Structure 1
Amino acid sequence: MTEYLEHSLTSGSGSGLPLLIQRTLAKQISLSECIGKGRYGEVWRGVWHGENVAVKIFFSRDEASWRRETEIYSTVLLRHENILGYIGSDMTSRSSCTQLWLITHHHPLGSLYDHLNRTTLTHHQFMKICLSAANGLVHLHTEIFGTQGKPAIAHRDIKSKNILMKLNGSCVIADFGLAVTHVQATGEMDVGSNPRVGTKRYMSPEVLEETINTECFESYRRADIYAFGLVLWEVCRRTLSNGIAEDYKPPFYDLVPNDPSFEDMKKVVCIDQQRPNLPNRWASNATLSGMAKLMKECWHHNPNVRLPALRIKKTLVKLASSDIHVHLDLDI
């Protein structure tokens, strides 16, 4: 079956198995345990021909997210070591209910959010996480030209829960239910038809103020960068310097309630123009103070000032190369 998994990554124009095989996928998978629940539905670990796979089962009310992810994965050369590997989608009937399945590679360590809650990081581990996530974002944001190309993609829901940990310590970006695609040659932008919005805690000022130019693809990329800056902050807090790290906290934990409203976030981010605070200990560590500068450039109030993903990646490579605790065979 491994050759199927291998094939699933290289078949046709998109990624995933040939459609004919996809249509019978659900029948071949036995669900073992529920490994996550969210507003969209549930994620299960499934077994498919002896291999572990992840099965995201959408509530039927969120069919738009399932359709969008399936569309993005199947029309696009998304195959990349830092993007969640896609196997296929299926619609199945269980106890007279229609279930929408999205089948992907399984990552037993769970999300970056889970990982940060569980453990502190060495400089090497932290750099591997940041570099691989940035690498995935560069791949998404970049259009690849030619018949075997891919459009540029903006994610629109970047957060630590949508980044998954691989066993080798690097990450993959997941959840394309809100993605927007753009093809430069035709100027065509596909926003999909999903009524769902991103995660309020990670929304950029222009999204909260509703001043974002929805006609312009670059606006969506810049909103991704803002959210990515918040993720970098989450990771840095858990990174050890002088044997110390902060407890895991989500961005704005000290400023908004647990499930903040649009208004809560708007007040903090737009009106008060607050950003997550930077612990004092970072100042005495060259890498963490370099990271502090980088995240400020990502979450700047003015979207035009924010760095492009490639610039972030290059800055991270530079920070890594001047850090004696990081071996640059980071094999990202």
Structure 2
Amino acid sequence: MESSSLLTVVLVGAFLWISAIHADSKDDGKVLCTCENDKGTCVNGTCKGDICFYSWVRGHEERGCFSKVYYMEQCFSKVDRLFMHCCKEYLCNTFTTPPPNINGDPTTTPPELSRPELWITLSLLLLITTASMCGLVLFLRFRRAHGLRNDVHGDRDVTMLKVPDGDDPTYGDIFDEFCTSGSGTGLPYLVQRTMARQISLVQCVGKGRYGEVWRGTWMGESVAVKIFSSRDEQSWFRETEIYNTVQLRHDNILGFIASDMTSKNSSTQLWLVTHFHELGSLYDFLQYSSLEPESCLRMCLSVACGLVHLHTEIVSSQEKPAIAHRDLKSRNILVKRNGQCCIADLGLAVIHSQSHDYLDVGNNPRVGTKRYMAPEVLDETIRMDVFESYKQTDIWALGLVFWEISRRTIVNGIVEEYCPPFFDMVPLDPSFEEMKKVVCVDQHKPSLHNRLHSHPILSAIAKIMKECWYQSPPARLTALRVRKTLSKLDHDSDFSTEKLKSDI
């Protein structure tokens, strides 16, 4: 872990040094640039920044300025059909135009470096490469030793998450072109800034207190466009911040493509563009679909896998802090074509890094969904300064989601109609006090149908639910323990099925 931190410091320091080489030499470090865009950042056709730029993306021209911290990301972009010119002189981007071959090979034109700067940059790159290799070797040796200690001392709630292969057939071509494997930060910044102009909205597929979700088309593919209402601006900022700063690419987390701000009908719209799943939310899916026990198990397992990935801090060269969802429910889980699920809506998420010793709860005034609130949230005894407290509330909600799925699972020819948790105890839109009385005062739990105990898979899932609903938060299961139990159940189920086939 120390070598990883040292490597991070070296990389950041080297990047700032390279950026400083290209910084403006004037007293305020800023240069006046021509500004032509629809983001509302221009003042009388100009702006001041460290770097002036002219960009041409698929026929759309834009001029403006940006901070030197974005120099490497923007001036050296390799996006197809993008021309990018960066300079640092007074109004130097005023008369820039794309070269004649812009419709052919990708072309980028960063500012030319003088020979001393070139040699300094090359030397720094060599230093960074050497430091990276040393840091990687030390990190892998540490991980291996740490893993061996875990094997010796027994099962612990620590996991090395696998890097997802990102093989979603709908978006494979797009992400092969624009995103590196394992990245959770969507498309390059410049492409994200033009997304709203490239997407055609086709059909509204959902509405809620946050705004609307539309199916749109981009580059011939379907995408989901979540348009936030102005009163939920903080949720858009929070989701954008989380997706752009942590490694969230995982099969069971909704895939992020871009975030953009656009103007429609003289008003500002906040867009979050993600993968599109035509089966909709788990809540919608359970209204019209029933499941076999094996499908129920794999659906529950996929939700648990997604929650484990959120809850787990990954310490590496590309770090991921631990994240608590805080609004886990069937409406915030989407169903994929393969029958698995992915978790969405991170607008209320809490971020924690043990290695860097920080807890970021955000400043969103919105609260979670009352029906899914844990007892300590309802009676306001939750420890707001302890990250584990937020994870434990996610586990309470996870048990309720499992309950919703199990109701729609056929056992002995019996299946129940869909109902939300506590449907028989509180009204359709319960108040905070009504939920508090049921969950905290009366300590009720959702009822479990007798048929669940007659099937080994459903009986095991019912046991997990009960262990997610302990009144005492520390007594509840962890997401990792839920996932391991369901994984073993899934393995045993596969083995039993294969054995049955061989006997036949």
Normalising by structure 2, we get a TM-score of 0.63
Cα distance change on mapping 1:206 and 1:146 into 2, 3 Å: same
- Rounded to whole Å, the distance in 2 between the matches of 1:50 and 1:192 is 36
Q: Secondary structure at the match of 1:64?
A: helix
Residues 1:226 and 2:400 are matched in the alignment: no
Matches for 1:3-14 after TM superposition, within 5 Å: 3-10=173-180, 14=184
Q: Secondary structure at the match of 1:172?
A: strand
1:12-62 CA-to-partner distances (Å, cap 9, x unmatched) read: 964211111100000000000000000000000000011100000000111
Cα distance change on mapping 1:13 and 1:282 into 2, 3 Å: closer
Alignment correspondent of 2:297 = 127
Divergent runs of 4+, >4 A: 11-14, 324-328
Normalising by structure 1, we get a TM-score of 0.95
Alignment correspondent of 1:316 = 486
Q: Secondary structure at the match of 1:323?
A: helix
Cα distance change on mapping 1:326 and 1:254 into 2, 3 Å: farther
- Rounded to whole Å, the distance in 1 between the matches of 2:470 and 2:200 is 46
1:7 Cα offset (Å): 4.4
Out of 452, 471, 489, the position equivalent to 1:301 is 471
1:171-222 CA-to-partner distances (Å, cap 9, x unmatched) read: 1000000001100012201111100000000000000011000000000000
- Rounded to whole Å, the distance in 2 between the matches of 1:218 and 1:304 is 9
Cα distance change on mapping 1:277 and 1:73 into 2, 3 Å: same
**Residue identity in the other structure for 1:176:** L
**Residue identity in the other structure for 2:455:** N
1:272 Cα offset (Å): 0.3
1:140-167 CA-to-partner distances (Å, cap 9, x unmatched) read: 0000002212000000000011110000
Alignment correspondent of 2:256 = 86
Out of 154, 170, 181, the position equivalent to 2:324 is 154
Cα distance change on mapping 1:310 and 1:215 into 2, 3 Å: same
In the comparison of the two structures, how many residue pairs are matched? 328
Does the Cα contact within 8 Å between 2:183 and 2:248 map onto a contact in 1?
no
1:225-262 CA-to-partner distances (Å, cap 9, x unmatched) read: 00000000111111111111111110000000001111
Gaps of 5+ in 1: none
Alpha carbon RMSD of aligned pairs, Å? Answer: 1.7
Out of 235, 245, 249, the position equivalent to 2:415 is 245
Alignment correspondent of 1:48 = 218
Cα distance change on mapping 1:323 and 1:63 into 2, 3 Å: same
Out of 327, 334, 354, the position equivalent to 1:184 is 354
Q: Give the number of the structure with larger relative contact order, counting CA–CA contacts within 8 Å between residues 6 or more apart.
A: 1
- Rounded to whole Å, the distance in 2 between the matches of 1:197 and 1:11 is 34
Alignment correspondent of 2:188 = 18
Q: Secondary structure at the match of 2:247?
A: coil
1:139 Cα offset (Å): 0.4
Does the Cα contact within 8 Å between 1:13 and 1:74 map onto a contact in 2?
no
Residues 1:139 and 2:314 are matched in the alignment: no
Gaps of 5+ in 2: 1-170, 499-504
Cα distance change on mapping 1:311 and 1:151 into 2, 3 Å: same
1:322 Cα offset (Å): 3.5
Which structure has the larger Rg?
2
- Rounded to whole Å, the distance in 2 between the matches of 1:304 and 1:7 is 45
- Rounded to whole Å, the distance in 1 between the matches of 2:187 and 2:450 is 50
Does the Cα contact within 8 Å between 1:8 and 1:18 map onto a contact in 2?
yes
